[in-house]
A = this chain, B = another copy of it.
Amino acid sequence: MTQKTAPVVVLVAPQLGENIGMVARAMLNFGLTELRLVSPRNGWPNPAAGPASAGADQVLNEATVYDDISTSVADCNRVFTTAMTVRRMLKDVITPAEAVRQALALPASTARTAWVFGPERTGLYSGEVAMGDSVISIPTNSDFGSLNLAMAMTVMGYEWMRQTTDQPARYLAGDETGPALRYDLDGLLAHLDTELTVREYFFPEHRAATMRQNVRSIFQRLTLTAAEVRTMRGVVKSLASPEQRISKG
């Protein structure tokens, strides 16, 4: 994916320094660094923000302050406001995932998007919500939907990271050998089959074929690594050998 400029985060009239700090932490957790504050209630800088940021000093030190929303987003191409519900206005309402998709669809060279969050107690007023090109509505439990400011930031930051990361959906940690060859897996299954056959596991005769298929199915579903096939061969060999008397001395 082409490198995209991460969105600017705008907090409108934030009340508590602790919340500004926690927002900064959540931003940096997901690679966002540009924080703008519109009329913070207790001025700026706020001594309570630092400790709550858990080390996201870079974000706080570079935060800038504005008198109104318009000025804070004047250099952006696309502005997303946030709201729990959108009432009495004709407005495009989108999910966090859709907001990030739209931001990533802008041309990389000019894209500059802003996410605007309201104050803790009230959220954005209706007229402020309307300033967004679109309004982001985070899907929540309709009976208990009020997210704390840092949690809303966490959702948006995670969504940004989810759509821009190159982390694979799934990988095998600590795998030094790679997936086993079918040759190795068939070797394990033949070994197991031999040991089970001499012990008359596959009984009665008319069920033997199905029983073999069921055993094979278990091991095939695992996608074993080459090292794991060797481990299982050792396990089968050990189970098939006589019990040892364990020395206590």
Q: Are B172 and A92 in contact (CB under 8 A)?
A: yes
- Among residues of B, the one whose C-beta sits closest to the C-beta of A25 is B148
Taking a contact as CB atoms under 8 Å apart, the answer to whether A29 and B90 are in contact is: no
Task: Tell me, rounded to whole Å, the shortest Cβ–Cβ distance linking A98 to chain B.
Answer: 4
Q: Are B94 and A170 in contact (CB under 8 A)?
A: yes
Neighbour of A173 across the interface among B55, B86, B150, B171, CB < 8 A: B86
Q: How far is the CA of A72 from the CA of B173 in the complex (A)?
A: 25
Q: Quick check: is A128 within 8 A (CB to CB) of the other chain?
A: no
Integer count of this chain's copies in the complex: 2
Q: Point out which of A22, A89, A95, A144 has the most chain B C-beta atoms below 10 A from its C-beta.
A: A144
Q: How distant is A222 from chain B, measured CB to nearest CB, in Å?
A: 10
Which of B90, B91, B138 is the one whose CB lies under 8 Å from A158? B138
Instruction: For A86, list chain B residues within 8 Å (CB).
Output: 173-174
| Complex interface: chain B residues within 8 A of A172 (CB) | 90-93
Contact A174 B140 (CB under 8 A): no
Are A88 and B174 touching (Cβ within 8 A)?
A: yes
A192 at the interface (CB under 8 A from B): no
Q: Mark A124-164, 1 if CB is under 8 A from B, else 0.
A: 00000000001101111100111110110011001101100
A91:B141 contact, CB within 8 angstroms: no
CA distance in complex: A31, B138 (Å): 13
Take A150-B151, A151-B151 as given contacts and tell me if A169 and B94 are in contact as well, using a CB distance cutoff of 8 Å.
yes
Interface pairs (12), CB distance under 8 Å: A28-B141, A29-B141, A31-B140, A90-B173, A92-B172, A94-B169, A94-B170, A95-B168, A95-B169, A141-B161, A154-B155, A158-B158
